[in-house]
Structure 1
Amino acid sequence: MASEQPDDRSTATQDNSVAIQVEDLTFRYPGQAAPALDRVSFSVARGEIFGLLGPSGAGKSTLQRVLTRQQRRFDGLVRVLGKPLADWRQDYFEVIGVGFELPNHYVKFTAVENLRFFASLYRRKCRDPLELLALVGLEHAAHKKVETFSKGMRMRLNFVRAIQHDPEILFLDEPTAGLDPVNARIVKRIVADLRRAGKTIVLTTHNMNDVDQLCDRVSFMVAGRFAAVDAPEALKARFGRHTVRVTHGRDTVDVDEFPLDGLADNTRFQAILKDGAVRTLHSQEASLDQVFSDVTGTSLDPAEEVA
């Protein structure tokens, strides 16, 4: 496989509003017939939250490995902050932050000791660890060993470790996994605040609520390709099916659901109305889950990503 050398397109004038630019990115694992990434092209604007969705094996993790320079051999063009990925050196890790789905801490260290150790790896100044822990409600556990932490506590520590050096770009993988609703809201609020501060965030998740609440745009990935990329509301408007759900009946309750289009001419719907036994009538808006299934022909599997 070719090394990550820029082609002649890399000499073109770059748009400073673009944080990540990917063109025809292809990667194949040795011994595999099908590529894990198959001519993927997209861009992420500075200050944008870009969602990356797909079932297990779709290629999301492989794409993350390329963008975080864990996998450095591929075909195609990748630019980050206007520079070809091949031209970045160790300074790349000063400008990106990575929060993996599976936390990786030194469990014999305390929370503060973990943050101070990782802060020592950066040249740039990092935020105060006690301040960071307070952001996610871990100030009470600052001096406790991480081996005593629950999964949710480890996820919150993992999250603040990714943001402690104030990176320009964040790669977050399932940042709310294992969190209760209160702490999930806290993390999502911080993510939204980071975007308002101009940070660029690539969010990989199976959680459609997180996508709806946070993402400016979302990509649907399947079999190493992007099946669709757009704002969540635009995807729902373009691909979604709007329906009307009716519960009705006198002695027993029946439920029917009808497409909104052509409702006035739907004989079954008109018959239910004329019968006069309607109990409830609600419009049903399209969901991202349904749109994803329609567009890709697959459903999201909450199992851990293996690609």
Structure 2
Amino acid sequence: MKSVISVEGLKKQFDNEEALKDISFEVGKGEIFGLLGPSGSGKTTTIKILTGELEPSGGLVEVLGYQHGAFKKSEYVRSLGILSDNSSLYERLTVKDNLALFRKLYNTEQSKVDQVLKDVGLEKHINKRVKDLSKGMKQRILLCKAVLHEPAVLFLDEPTSALDPVTTDSIHDMLLKIKARGTTIMLTTHNMDEATVLCDTVAFLNEGIIIDNGSPDALRQSYKTNDMHITYDDGRTKQISLSPENKVQLEAALFDTNVVNMKSDYPTLGEVFKKVTGKELV
């Protein structure tokens, strides 16, 4: 099946700074693809190129059969949903009035407004003014706005940045519902737990270069070791390799009442990122 998003050799230069240095990836229909990396790695630049806000300096970019030269066309723009740091709401209007404006713009039914508000748990707040909403509520309304017209592709730039865990979980649930309806989703994040929960495929972006990619589970598996980490109730720790030679030690630890925790060296995505880049995610 042909990819919905295809990026080959993408480069972007700002004056003397190379923001993107020859990156390539593909995203299939109905997939959630995560572009992961710290602030300044080139994630937002990539999103802005794919949504037509920036022109690439080199490479080939195609979304839904459109190449970047056609990204300004209205039919392309209408096929996208976008949530970025440029997304905004009319603060003095109610939630209902905000979404009514976008519903009319995209010629969608009122029932769709009711559905997306229910999906994010805000149907009871429809008559509140946006200025009176919390940051988390506003972010959920922005997501409603981005998906109101059932876009073929949804671009999300740090969709849950600085939100509380309950709001984050609510947004994750909505995104999984949107995916189940066949929408292709591309998100950028430096939250590796979020990527593990949501993404079918991820790519690690660091200093404008993709340094590894694959499914979250496959990446974690590829960087794990055969070590068991054991913690005792007095604070001592021990590391034992999983090998036949250490069978007696491992069995002893398993039944030792002084052991409070045993875990394998199965890294998180964040730990994998640190292994391949030597950097923390910030």
Q: Same fold (TM over 0.5)?
A: yes
Does the aligned pair in 2 maintain the 1:103–1:154 contact within 8 Å? Answer: no
| Counterpart position of 2:5 | 20
Q: Identity across aligned pairs (percent)?
A: 35
Structure 1 residues 259, 25: CA separation in 2 closer, same or farther (over 3 Å shift)?
Answer: farther
**Paired letter, 2:76:** Y
Across the two proteins, how many residue pairs are aligned to each other?
281
Structure 1 residues 36, 243: CA separation in 2 closer, same or farther (over 3 Å shift)?
Answer: same
TM-superposed deviation, 1:262: 5.0
Does the aligned pair in 2 maintain the 1:99–1:158 contact within 8 Å? Answer: yes
In the aligned structure 2, how far is the partner of 1:201 from the partner of 1:145?
Answer: 29
| Counterpart position of 1:37 | 20
**Aligned alpha-carbon RMSD (Å):** 2.8
Structure 1 residues 27, 280: CA separation in 2 closer, same or farther (over 3 Å shift)?
Answer: closer
| Counterpart position of 1:61 | 44
Does the aligned pair in 2 maintain the 1:127–1:165 contact within 8 Å? Answer: no
TM-superposed deviation, 1:263: 8.0
**Paired letter, 2:61:** V
TM-superposed deviation, 1:230: 0.2
**Paired letter, 1:283:** S
1:214-252 Cα shifts (integer Å, max 9, x gaps): 100001000101001100000001123453222236xxx
**Ranges in structure 2 where 5+ consecutive residues have no aligned partner:** none
Structure 1 residues 221, 263: CA separation in 2 closer, same or farther (over 3 Å shift)?
Answer: farther
| Counterpart position of 2:272 | 291
Does the aligned pair in 2 maintain the 1:126–1:164 contact within 8 Å? Answer: no
Which range moved further: 232-241 or 132-141? 132-141
Does the aligned pair in 2 maintain the 1:115–1:161 contact within 8 Å? Answer: yes
Q: How does 1:237-256 map to 2 (within 5 A)?
A: 237-248=221-232, 253-256=234-237
1:137 equivalent in alignment to 2:118: no
TM-superposed deviation, 1:292: 0.6
SS at match of 1:245: strand
Structure 1 residues 124, 40: CA separation in 2 closer, same or farther (over 3 Å shift)?
Answer: farther
Which range moved further: 125-134 or 146-155? 125-134
Which range moved further: 276-285 or 113-122? 276-285
- Which residue of the other structure, out of 68, 75, 81, is the alignment partner of 1:85? 68
- Which residue of the other structure, out of 191, 216, 219, is the alignment partner of 2:200? 216
| Counterpart position of 2:239 | 258
TM-score (norm 1): 0.82
In the aligned structure 2, how far is the partner of 1:82 from the partner of 1:181?
Answer: 37
**Paired letter, 1:19:** V
Which range moved further: 178-187 or 292-301? 178-187
SS at match of 1:295: helix
**Paired letter, 1:255:** R
Structure 1 residues 127, 208: CA separation in 2 closer, same or farther (over 3 Å shift)?
Answer: farther
| Counterpart position of 1:12 | none
In the aligned structure 2, how far is the partner of 1:282 from the partner of 1:299?
Answer: 22
In the aligned structure 2, how far is the partner of 1:141 from the partner of 1:59?
Answer: 36
| Counterpart position of 2:98 | 114
TM-score (norm 2): 0.88
TM-superposed deviation, 1:124: 6.1
| Counterpart position of 2:136 | 152
In the aligned structure 2, how far is the partner of 1:58 from the partner of 1:206?
Answer: 10
TM-superposed deviation, 1:118: 2.3
Does the aligned pair in 1 maintain the 2:35–2:43 contact within 8 Å? Answer: yes
**Ranges in structure 1 where 5+ consecutive residues have no aligned partner:** 1-15, 302-307
